[in-house]
Amino acid sequence: MKKALVSGGSGALGEAISRTLARDGLHVVVHAHAHPARAERIVETIRAEGGSAEAICFDVRDHQVCGDALEALVERIGPIQVIVNNAGIHDDVPLAGMSEAQWHNVVSVSLDGFFNVTRPLLLHMLSTRWGRIVNLSSVSGLIGNRGQVNYAAAKAGLHGATKALALEVASRGVTVNAVAPGVIASPGTDAAVSDAAVRSMVPMKRRGTPGEVAALIGFLASDQAGYITGQIISVSGGLA
């Protein structure tokens, strides 16, 4: 059984991704930081659905803690062959009023988190000559968004990392892609973006669902997607 790690797995999108991968037959390690109880609940749900899962907790921004936790994980369960770098936060404010902490915290979770999670697992993955790395981006990284200079910069940086790493590992049977969701239904976005605003800016006139994003990630993590790498794929209802 192949093993998958979903960072930021305790949120709405992380849960959809974790459950999708488990239904596809993977053992899923659901990562959390601030909300470990949510990750444990998702693990229980997956197991109730007949899947295999466990939870892990660490701060993706902490290089040493992250590396130690992941090396111990691989030593215990074997190589992780699917990595979904889903951990991300936003702290929206116009750049003129943005603090240094708001800049660094948002960039660190997405970019340092990508490095801190992927690097300790990569050599183990390459040794199996099969792997899938999927990085969660955003349409903000493609087209920008007012008040999200930090978030857009972090996600655009993830696009460059995706394309460069894809070139480094392609010959070893490992693919690296990014998925860029648009307005996806969740408690946070539902409160922040009105239905009228969605109808105005999204060509399909609706929010996407976590399941629609997770379905694409499930495909990219499968054997069928073995010739797709270095791509940034938008799931945005035509927004980008």
With CA atoms as reference, report the closest residue to 213 among 13, 8, 10.
Answer: 13
**Of residues 170, 135, 182, the one with CA closest to residue 155:** 135
Spatial separation of the C-alpha atoms in residues 127 and 81, rounded to whole Å: 10
Instruction: Establish how many alpha carbons lie within 13 A of residue 1's alpha carbon, considering only the half-sphere containing its beta carbon.
Output: 15
Residue 89 near residue 140 (C-beta atoms within 8 A): no
Tokens of 207: 């929010």
Sign of CA dihedral 47, 49, 52, 55: negative
> Counting beta carbons within 10 angstroms of the beta carbon of residue 11, is it exposed (0 to 12), middle (13 to 18) or buried (19 or more)?
buried
Looking up tokens 């109880």, which residue turns up? Answer: 37
Catalytically annotated residue among 151, 152, 156, 213:
151
What is 186-209 written as a DSSP string?
Answer: SHHHHHHS-HHHHHHH-TTSS-B-
For the sheet with 3-7, list strands across it: 52-57, 27-32, 3-7, 82-85, 131-136, 174-181, 232-235
Does residue 151 carry a catalytic annotation? Answer: yes
Just list the catalytic residues. Answer: 151
